[in-house]
Homo-oligomer: A and B are copies of this chain.
Amino acid sequence: MIGYRFMGKAHSNAWRQAPRFFPLKAHVEMHTLCGRNAAGVQAARAQLGWQHASTNWREVVEDPLIDIVDINTPNDSHAEIAIAAARNGKHVLCEKPLALTVPQAEQMLAAVQKARVVHMVCHNYRRIPAIAQAKKMIQEGALGQVYHFRARYAQDWPADPQFPLVWRLQKEVSGSGAHGDINAHILDLGRYLVGEFTAVTGLLHTFITERPLPEAPGKEQGLGGKAAARLGKVTVDDASLFIGRFANGALANLEATRMALGRKNHIEIEINGSKGSLYFDFEDMNRLKFFSNDDPKDRQGFHDILVTKGGVHPYCAQWWPEGHLIGYEHTFIHTIVDFVNACVDGKPVQPTFEDGVQNQRVLAAVEKSAATGKWVQVKTA
């Protein structure tokens, strides 16, 4: 595994927990954890449960003892690592967004296809039981023809103007802001649950354009007073909104923002179809709301489904009795389970790098529409 910060912690937990709760088709060894800072990666290795530590990702992806490379680094290094890993015949799991640009993502896809390795983008939200249940219901026709996909991913962590200029707020490292970081997630869920986007028009906006530099705390102290932090320019968007059309005729409305006070990790999705509707909110991630037009007229209303029933709801048999919730980290465990089993079987596992490329195309189309003020068609493979 390359990278050990927030995602590294979540992925490591998933690697540890997957075999404890799920039947895996292979025994998993957590071989090497890799990061740039020697002391940091060594400490993380012990804490997170890896056997070895390394500061040289090239050595890791070439190690013949390693079958799988899991990439959790900042977005600007995904492509280089993934391509090298594929060339060395490793199966690759990569954090989203796959790349900084569409061409970069296409190169990554070409590399994994050429190497015939299993590839997966870590859109962990697909494996929330409630989302997997929604997918199943849509496939079974519970919604009929889909009319509307409406989603919002709202956070507030940098809402305070004094929040520092971290890497997620710097375009050269992160590629974009709310757009690639979180709109990418609900865009993926739109593709997963409804289908391909064909055209979009949107906007990107930065509300707070300058922030304190994190690397320079206290450097600029005045004579008798408080430090005045040096400010740096925010080069990514705080918010990304777009409306669009799907190939199947449905309408899309997606909004991502980091400036919605009170919304912490609020991924809200509503899908309306000719036979019913679904509603999901990640801040109540164990629930799915379902309206069925087939219910008796006097009893119609959104069913508030607690998606925790073993043997009935996806992934739930391995956890706790009904009504006992699971959390954020479990979405990664489910992802690892499916990925490992696909690696053993040598079969594709969604979301693939094809999904990653297509996701990037929609992101790019929104960016283009934001720049030109016009609708932009989305190329599909």
Q: Specify which chain B residues have a CB less than 8 angstroms from the CB of A297 in the assembled complex.
A: 309, 312
Determine if B323 and A155 form an interchain contact, defined as CB atoms under 8 angstroms apart: yes
Q: Specify which chain B residues have a CB less than 8 angstroms from the CB of A242 in the assembled complex.
A: 243
For the complex, is A306 an interface residue (Cβ under 8 Å from B)? yes
Determine if A290 and B284 form an interchain contact, defined as CB atoms under 8 angstroms apart: no
Q: Specify which chain B residues have a CB less than 8 angstroms from the CB of A288 in the assembled complex.
A: 301
Determine if B304 and A302 form an interchain contact, defined as CB atoms under 8 angstroms apart: yes
Q: Specify which chain B residues have a CB less than 8 angstroms from the CB of A154 in the assembled complex.
A: 272
In the complex, per-residue mask of A305-336: 1 if CB is within 8 Å of any chain B CB, else 0: 11011001100000111111111111000000
Determine if A301 and B309 form an interchain contact, defined as CB atoms under 8 angstroms apart: no
Q: Specify which chain B residues have a CB less than 8 angstroms from the CB of A312 in the assembled complex.
A: 297-298
Determine if B277 and A148 form an interchain contact, defined as CB atoms under 8 angstroms apart: no
Q: Number of contacting residues on A, CB 8 A? A: 94
Query: A287 CA to B301 CA in the complex, in Å?
Result: 9
Q: Specify which chain B residues have a CB less than 8 angstroms from the CB of A327 in the assembled complex.
A: 286, 319-320, 324-327, 330
Which of A31-39, A56-64, A88-96, A259-267 interfaces with chain B?
A259-267
For the complex, is A273 an interface residue (Cβ under 8 Å from B)? yes
A253 with B251, Cβ < 8 A, contacts A20-B48, A328-B325 known = no
Known contacts A159-B274, A203-B245; 11 additional CB pairs below 8 A are A6-B321, A133-B298, A137-B299, A147-B260, A203-B251, A261-B274, A264-B306, A283-B325, A290-B299, A326-B328, A373-B374
10 residue pairs A–B, Cβ–Cβ below 8 Å: A10-B320, A157-B322, A159-B293, A203-B251, A261-B291, A262-B302, A263-B272, A298-B309, A298-B313, A325-B328
> Which A residues lie at the B interface, using CB under 8 A?
6, 10, 13, 16, 20, 47-49, 133, 136-137, 142, 147-148, 150, 152, 154-155, 157, 159, 161, 201-203, 205, 207, 238-239, 241-243, 245, 249, 251, 253, 255, 257, 259-266, 270, 272-277, 282-293, 295, 297-306, 308-309, 312-313, 319-330, 373-375
